[in-house]
Structure 1
Amino acid sequence: MNVPVDDEIAALRAENERLRAALDETLAGRHDQGRRGFGWVIPSAALIVIGAILAPVVVVTTWASRETSSTAAFVETFSPLARDPAVQSFITAKTNDVVDEHLDVRQLTGTVFDGLRQLDLPPRAASALTALEAPASTGVENLVHQTVQRFVASDAFTTLWDGALRTGHAQLVRSLTGDQRAAVAIAADGSIGIQLGPIVAEVKQRLIDQGLGFASRIPVVDRTVVIATSDAAVRAETAYALVQVTAAWLPWLAVACIGIGVVMARRRARALSLAGIGVAIAMAVTMLGLAFGRVVTVRALAPDLMPRNAARVIYDTVVAFVLSASVAITVLALAVAVTAWFAGSSRPAVRLRAGWGRLTAGARRAAEVRGVTTGRVGVELDRFRVPLLVLVAVVAAAVIALHRPLSPGLIVWTLVSSLVAVGIVDLLARPASTDGRPGQASRDGDDGVSPDRDDQLATNRG
């Protein structure tokens, strides 16, 4: 049933008064902001810049604290190295060098053949024996090397590697705290090494099990293979305690700097958008730094300490968390910048919000014409629209803040889900008529208020 013209005019007048009061309040707020003057701009910008600069520091300190305080995280980081072909080849070569150094196969086979020659063999047999000496020696060497290679490529080596990592994690912490008895040693020149002893001991046992009793001559090996070298390794001992202290509160300090800077800004939405862009730029610089560090590290390690492919794999494994976190924070920062721009007062943002308001209002009217309406539920949704949107934002922020490790996919899907939830609330929320009851749809599409007024309401809500 159509609403009388007088009632509709009265409703429009009431709405105009409400809109005029809201406009006066907005203008008064802008006037108060203008009275702040540019004295607020400098500290606001300074705090936002400090927060953006702290973002990469937060990622690095979080990574360092994670690697040194969590054995599970440490094993998760370095365990894949045991299955990488480049690292396996490097470990195999170093283990073979140690075995060959302590086990002279050619001398052992030569001793055996010299004993056979003393048996007064016929000339042809002695000649054949001499011809077989070199192939026999080479065959034994190949057998030893193949045993090493098969072991390093086996699941048993992966298990040994993971066990060594778990045991070595405590040793690494002892190294960082300056304990000279640590198995993972940081030398004065910045070199970092791991023990070959357990690997050689396992290979020795396997050779003995295959009937090569002379392998028992391999002594207990106490040798460290350098896997990295950097001046930063020495400074890491000093930085360890600082990292443990700052990793807990530094993220909150960065967020507080950005938050206070945005609150102090004259145009908060614009300030938040610029803060997001600033953080994204800082993280992009961090990723460029990681790429540059990869080149420098590979040049420092290869070819003197290890092959280039092994050096690249080790570096990529070590910085994987920092790189993934940098990408994720970049995506999050850009998403915040876009969201803040959409909520701002720029003309394109206002037009976009108005267009979205008209779209949802038109869809709602079209549904009500066909008898599909949310009724009283829609009115309650419209009544509590702001708290619902705040709840969506809080849930999205909690998911991103509490999930570890942070990934770009998680951020994208969380933001998409949040936008879908906001869209559903906008679509289902149904403005009440001036008498507090849901507007009744009629055949001409009137829901108790004029279409222009509904569009205006939707635009204002945006």
Structure 2
Amino acid sequence: MRTRATVVRAVWSAVVIALLAVLVPLGAVAVWADRVLGDEEEYVVVMAPLAEDGAVRGAVARGAASALARQIEAGPVEAGAERLLGEATSSFVGTEAFRTAWNAANRAAHTAFTDALDGGSGDTVTVDLAPVVAEVKADLTADGVPFVDRIPVARTAITVMEYENLGTLRRGFHVLQNAGVRLPAVTLLLLGASVVFTRRRRALLVAAGTGFAAGGLLLAGAVSVCRRLTLDDLPADVDRAAAGVVYDALTAFLRTGAWAVLGAGLVLALGAWLSGRLPSRERGRISPRVSGRVPHTP
């Protein structure tokens, strides 16, 4: 009978661990898709610090300079145009005006991204440099550089991510976005109900902590593997250093969440396990003393 009960507990613990190992990463990604990628303001907040990153600044400067140079056909100016524009854009990306233009560009990028996921076509995520180009053009015009005022400010995009099948990503994104905070909330609710109604709370908490830790570890591994695969699949003309910085910024929520859940799970599992071990040891220490106080009968 005891053997059968032990097997049932082991199976139940394995089920709890497996479910949490799956639901925890899915819940984290669902919240991330809804609250980070799906929200324009949060997206801009996440991307804003990248205006200070050297790799991103370099990629933006080169992209803007190349876009401007392609539109200049002005005889002697054309020969030195790319060098001049390169110096101008490199200088511009260190200014406060660039940070303002960068935020505007990312608002446009988020709109394009959500439009693509809402049914558009294409397989790339790009940042439109038109706001940056407009600012550089205004600076060069103010400095008296000839012919620059004639350059049209057209959409100038640099690719930061590319996917082979955006349709699959679109469907998955909508499922996760609709789940949002509901999935982790339902997971915690079910776990709480199980703790309330089970007779073996300690065993359940040990299994739950282990499941949380496993889920956090799987999430951290998935973010790392997806980073490598994403950067490896980029075209040769995409700046991998800048793309890596963008990926890391966008997935910072997931990485932080993964390690937080891993740590919390380990603390929960270890705490529940120790709570069942320590009392038994105390009883083992006390019982000899008690027996030693029994008076001797001659």
- Say whether the fold is shared (TM-score over 0.5): yes
Q: Deviations over 1:46-77 (max 9, x none)?
A: 24421332011111111111124433321221
- What is the alpha-carbon distance in structure 1 between the residues aligned to residue 240 and residue 145 of structure 2? 35
Matches within 5 A, 1:310-325: 310-325=242-257
- Partner in structure 1 of residue 275 of structure 2: 343
- What is the alpha-carbon distance in structure 2 between the residues aligned to residue 247 and residue 109 of structure 1? 54
2:176 pairs with 1:208: no
Indicate conservation of the 8 Å contact 2:102/2:131, yes or no: no
2:64 pairs with 1:95: yes
> Which blocks of at least 5 consecutive residues in structure 2 are unaligned?
291-298
Aligned-partner SS, 2:181: helix
Matches within 5 A, 1:311-390: 311-344=243-276, 346=277, 348=278, 350-351=280-281
- Partner in structure 1 of residue 296 of structure 2: none
The residue type equivalent to 2:225 in the other structure is F
The residue type equivalent to 1:83 in the other structure is E
2:103 pairs with 1:162: yes
Shift of 1:171: 4.5
Aligned-residue CA RMSD (Å): 3.2
Indicate conservation of the 8 Å contact 2:105/2:130, yes or no: no
Number of aligned residue pairs: give it: 288
- Partner in structure 1 of residue 25 of structure 2: 56
Indicate conservation of the 8 Å contact 1:194/1:226, yes or no: yes
- Partner in structure 2 of residue 108 of structure 1: 76
Matches within 5 A, 1:41-440: 42-43=11-12, 45-104=14-73, 107-109=75-77, 138=80, 141-166=82-107, 168-178=109-119, 180=120, 187=122, 190-231=123-164, 233-262=166-195, 267-301=200-234, 304-344=236-276, 346=277, 348=278, 350-351=280-281
- What is the alpha-carbon distance in structure 2 between the residues aligned to residue 290 and residue 68 of structure 1? 15
Aligned-partner SS, 2:154: coil
- Partner in structure 1 of residue 293 of structure 2: none
- What is the alpha-carbon distance in structure 2 between the residues aligned to residue 262 and residue 231 of structure 1? 44
- What is the alpha-carbon distance in structure 1 between the residues aligned to residue 271 and residue 232 of structure 2? 43
- What is the alpha-carbon distance in structure 1 between the residues aligned to residue 28 and residue 282 of structure 2? 35
Tell me: CA distance 1:79–1:350, structure 2 relative to 1, closer, same or farther (3 Å): farther
The residue type equivalent to 2:45 in the other structure is E
Q: Deviations over 1:121-142 (max 9, x none)?
A: xxxxxxxxxxxxxxxx54x653
Larger-gyration structure (1/2):
1
Tell me: CA distance 1:245–1:354, structure 2 relative to 1, closer, same or farther (3 Å): farther
- What is the alpha-carbon distance in structure 2 between the residues aligned to residue 341 and residue 310 of structure 1? 45
The residue type equivalent to 1:85 in the other structure is G
Shift of 1:269: 0.8
Shift of 1:85: 0.4
**What TM-score comes out, normalization by structure 1 length?**
0.55
Aligned-partner SS, 1:225: strand
- What is the alpha-carbon distance in structure 1 between the residues aligned to residue 261 and residue 6 of structure 2? 33
- What is the alpha-carbon distance in structure 1 between the residues aligned to residue 118 and residue 66 of structure 2? 32
Q: Which has the higher contact order (CA 8 A, sep 6+)?
A: 2
Indicate conservation of the 8 Å contact 2:22/2:215, yes or no: yes
- What is the alpha-carbon distance in structure 1 between the residues aligned to residue 18 and residue 191 of structure 2? 8
Shift of 1:291: 1.7
- What is the alpha-carbon distance in structure 1 between the residues aligned to residue 227 and residue 38 of structure 2? 25
- What is the alpha-carbon distance in structure 2 between the residues aligned to residue 38 and residue 201 of structure 1? 70
Aligned-partner SS, 1:294: helix
Aligned-partner SS, 1:192: strand
- What is the alpha-carbon distance in structure 2 between the residues aligned to residue 309 and residue 354 of structure 1? 60
- What is the alpha-carbon distance in structure 1 between the residues aligned to residue 73 and residue 94 of structure 2? 24
- What is the alpha-carbon distance in structure 2 between the residues aligned to residue 142 and residue 351 of structure 1? 77
Indicate conservation of the 8 Å contact 2:216/2:257, yes or no: no
Q: Among the aligned pairs, what percent are the same residue?
A: 27
- Partner in structure 2 of residue 425 of structure 1: none
- What is the alpha-carbon distance in structure 2 between the residues aligned to residue 72 and residue 352 of structure 1? 56
Indicate conservation of the 8 Å contact 1:96/1:145, yes or no: yes
- What is the alpha-carbon distance in structure 2 between the residues aligned to residue 232 and residue 64 of structure 1? 18
The residue type equivalent to 1:84 in the other structure is D
**What TM-score comes out, normalization by structure 2 length?**
0.83
Tell me: CA distance 1:171–1:354, structure 2 relative to 1, closer, same or farther (3 Å): farther
